[in-house]
Chain A
Amino acid sequence: MELVMPEFGLLFWMLVSFSLLLFILKKFAWKPILKALSDRENSIDEALKSAQEAKNEMLKLQADNQQILMQAMRERDKIMKEASELKEAIVSEAKNKAIAEAEKVMEGARAAIEREKVAAIDEMKNAIAIFSIDIAEKILREKLTDDKQQKELVKKYVDQINVN
């Protein structure tokens, strides 16, 4: 029977000391401990979250980099192609121009040669006429008397000389 009858003395001491224990632990132990635990959990949580964010950011950055690289390569290819096209164009134009120029120069030269030739032939004709006259005069002076008749004859002969 004693076992199931609460003893007053023990009830009293338990009530007093347990209340005290509860008060002290609540104020000086549980409060800081629980606060520290939840603070730590929050900080771990945030750290994990930010790590995840950083990872996502990095993946995005990597994808961006890849895209930029691809674009740069495409750009390069395009520029190269354009440059080679341009080069060909310039080269062929220069060639055409050179050909045209050469043609023009040749034409001019040919015309000048023709002119010079005609002039030279004319001069030669005159010179021949004069020479012929002189020669004929010298011949005729010795053989002919009628100057006028002889001159006509020479002229006739000179004219018959075709230039070509």
Chain B
Amino acid sequence: MRFVKPFLLVIFIIIASVAGAKANDVTVAESTQKKPFNPKGLIFHHISDAYEWHITTIGETEISIPLLVIVYSQNSGFHLFPSSEFHHGTQSYDGFMIAHEGENKGKVVETLADGSVKRPIDISITKNVISLFISIILLLYIFLSISKRYSKNFARAPKGIQSWMEPLIIFIRDDVAKSAIGEKYAKYLPYLLTIFFFIFLNNLLGLVPVFPGGANLTGNIAITMVLALFTFTITTFSGSKDYWMHMINMPGVPWWLKFPIPLMPVLEIMGVFIKPLVLMIRLFANITAGHIVALGFYCLIFIFGQKNIFAGYGVSVVSILFTIFMALIELLVAFIQAYVFTLLSALYFGMALETHSEHK
């Protein structure tokens, strides 16, 4: 019963936006002749960000939720308008349009007076941003409601969604934070729990093919970059004296590796930056690759279907089986990647906190 209300809300939003989109976009894509199927375009369209939330295309009518474009241009100031003004990228609005080629392909660009195009500072509420907001609202809803239950009476057995979250919270606390960081784990636990549930929820939402899910959020490098940046900042600020001393002068290493060419210190200092960089790329690449593979299987249906409609139907059976298999693996990956990101962050914090006496 508790989940009925948010669900109704989501459904209402979908209906309202679809209706709005339809009312706004009476113009139909003009090209009537059949374009050849372009799997690369389709896949990249699905894993990239967009200014509108594309639901489906029925016949020639595109059904999508228009989102908000917020841009700051140096010569015309702030602009805020719904992305439906672009009519799915076919028209320009107020000097702005979505570029179709070049280095800014798919992004909002401004056509200047002299005819050249320039990218404005773009903080639009894109598909990924909306997805981010949805996931954050979900996280807040879940954890604030269960925290209320915990504060009412801690001694009661967990109930409902609480009993799903409690094992995960205890798992992160005992098997990640406590084992990787040691006794000072309590300070880092809130951050670790937050990134774990943020990544896990967004990985799962990414697997849902329809509206509230479907955005490739954790497979977007900007998102993983911010997460890695947080881990990097926390690691750097909690570094003990020994941590920095070891970086400059690693004990137990032959002197000629440090002098005259400071090979070890250089490697160590590079490591400080490589660690979060790897975190960033690992999550991004895993999630994006999963999406690409699943979409690739689906594309096979249409590639074969173009040659022969029956071949398409035949392949669809295999493709669906493979995609189900992939989806199950992705479900596992969703958890594993969230776990790995959290565990490695915890390990880096633990390394930064290590003091000399613990080495002996």
Binding site for B on A (CB under 8 A): 1-15, 17-18, 20-22, 24-26, 28-37, 39-40, 43
Name the distance in Å between A58's Cβ and chain B's nearest Cβ: 25
Please tell me if the beta carbons of B144 and A30 are within 8 angstroms of each other in the complex.
Answer: no
| Residues of chain A lying within 8 A (CB to CB) of residue B170 | 37
Please tell me if the beta carbons of A5 and B190 are within 8 angstroms of each other in the complex.
Answer: no
Within 8 A of A (CB), among B253-292: 284, 288
The answer to whether B65 has its CB under 8 Å from any CB of chain A is no
The answer to whether B225 has its CB under 8 Å from any CB of chain A is yes
Q: Which of B105, B186, B193 has the most CB of A within 10 A?
A: B193
| Residues of chain A lying within 8 A (CB to CB) of residue B147 | 28-30, 32-33
Number of A-B contacts (CB under 8 A): 123
3 residue pairs, one from A and one from B, having the closest CB atoms: A36-B154, A36-B150, A29-B143
Q: How far does the alpha carbon of A31 sit from the alpha carbon of B191 in the complex, in Å?
A: 11
The answer to whether B14 has its CB under 8 Å from any CB of chain A is no
The answer to whether B313 has its CB under 8 Å from any CB of chain A is no
Please tell me if the beta carbons of A32 and B223 are within 8 angstroms of each other in the complex.
Answer: no
The answer to whether B48 has its CB under 8 Å from any CB of chain A is yes
Q: Which of A22, A25, A30 has the most CB of B within 10 A?
A: A25
Please tell me if the beta carbons of A3 and B288 are within 8 angstroms of each other in the complex.
Answer: yes
Please tell me if the beta carbons of A21 and B194 are within 8 angstroms of each other in the complex.
Answer: yes
From A2, A8, A30, A37, give the contact of B105 (CB < 8 A): A2
Please tell me if the beta carbons of A33 and B106 are within 8 angstroms of each other in the complex.
Answer: no
| Residues of chain B lying within 8 A (CB to CB) of residue A13 | 123, 125, 129, 132
Q: How far does the alpha carbon of A64 sit from the alpha carbon of B219 in the complex, in Å?
A: 70
Residues of B in contact (CB 8 Å), total: 51
Residue of A nearest to B123 (CB): A9
Name the distance in Å between B218's Cβ and chain A's nearest Cβ: 11
Residue of B nearest to A29 (CB): B143
Name the distance in Å between B96's Cβ and chain A's nearest Cβ: 14
Binds A, one of B24-32, B86-94, B133-141, B316-324: B133-141
Binding site for A on B (CB under 8 A): 44, 47-49, 70, 103, 105-106, 121-126, 128-129, 132-133, 136, 139-140, 143-144, 146-147, 150-151, 154-155, 166, 169-170, 173, 186, 189-191, 193-194, 198, 220-223, 225-227, 229-230, 284, 288
| Residues of chain A lying within 8 A (CB to CB) of residue B166 | 37
**Contact A10/B106 with A29-B143, A36-B154, A37-B166 known, Cβ cut-off 8 Å:** no
| Residues of chain B lying within 8 A (CB to CB) of residue A3 | 44, 47-48, 221, 288
Please tell me if the beta carbons of B48 and A2 are within 8 angstroms of each other in the complex.
Answer: yes
Task: Other than A13-B125, A29-B143, give 15 A-B pairs with Cβ distance below 8 A.
Answer: A9-B124, A9-B126, A10-B223, A12-B123, A13-B132, A14-B132, A17-B133, A18-B136, A18-B226, A21-B139, A22-B190, A30-B190, A30-B193, A33-B169, A40-B154
Please tell me if the beta carbons of B226 and A15 are within 8 angstroms of each other in the complex.
Answer: yes
Residue of A nearest to B69 (CB): A9
In the assembled complex, 15 residue pairs joining A and B whose CB atoms fall closer than 8 Å, in A order, are A1-B103, A4-B284, A7-B122, A8-B122, A8-B123, A11-B225, A13-B125, A14-B223, A15-B229, A18-B136, A18-B227, A22-B190, A22-B194, A26-B194, A43-B154
Name the distance in Å between A23's Cβ and chain B's nearest Cβ: 9
Please tell me if the beta carbons of A34 and B173 are within 8 angstroms of each other in the complex.
Answer: yes
| Residues of chain A lying within 8 A (CB to CB) of residue B150 | 32-33, 35-37
Q: How far does the alpha carbon of A157 sit from the alpha carbon of B128 in the complex, in Å?
A: 174
| Residues of chain B lying within 8 A (CB to CB) of residue A25 | 139-140, 143, 190, 193-194
| Residues of chain B lying within 8 A (CB to CB) of residue A11 | 222, 225-226
Name the distance in Å between A81's Cβ and chain B's nearest Cβ: 60
| Residues of chain B lying within 8 A (CB to CB) of residue A34 | 169, 173, 186, 189-190
Q: How far does the alpha carbon of A115 sit from the alpha carbon of B136 in the complex, in Å?
A: 138
**Contact A6/B225 with A13-B129, A39-B154 known, Cβ cut-off 8 Å:** yes
Q: How far does the alpha carbon of A7 sit from the alpha carbon of B51 in the complex, in Å?
A: 13
Q: How far does the alpha carbon of A10 sit from the alpha carbon of B125 in the complex, in Å?
A: 8
Please tell me if the beta carbons of A18 and B230 are within 8 angstroms of each other in the complex.
Answer: yes
Q: How far does the alpha carbon of A71 sit from the alpha carbon of B128 in the complex, in Å?
A: 84
Residue of A nearest to B226 (CB): A14
| Residues of chain A lying within 8 A (CB to CB) of residue B221 | 3-6
| Residues of chain A lying within 8 A (CB to CB) of residue B49 | 7, 10
Please tell me if the beta carbons of B146 and A33 are within 8 angstroms of each other in the complex.
Answer: yes
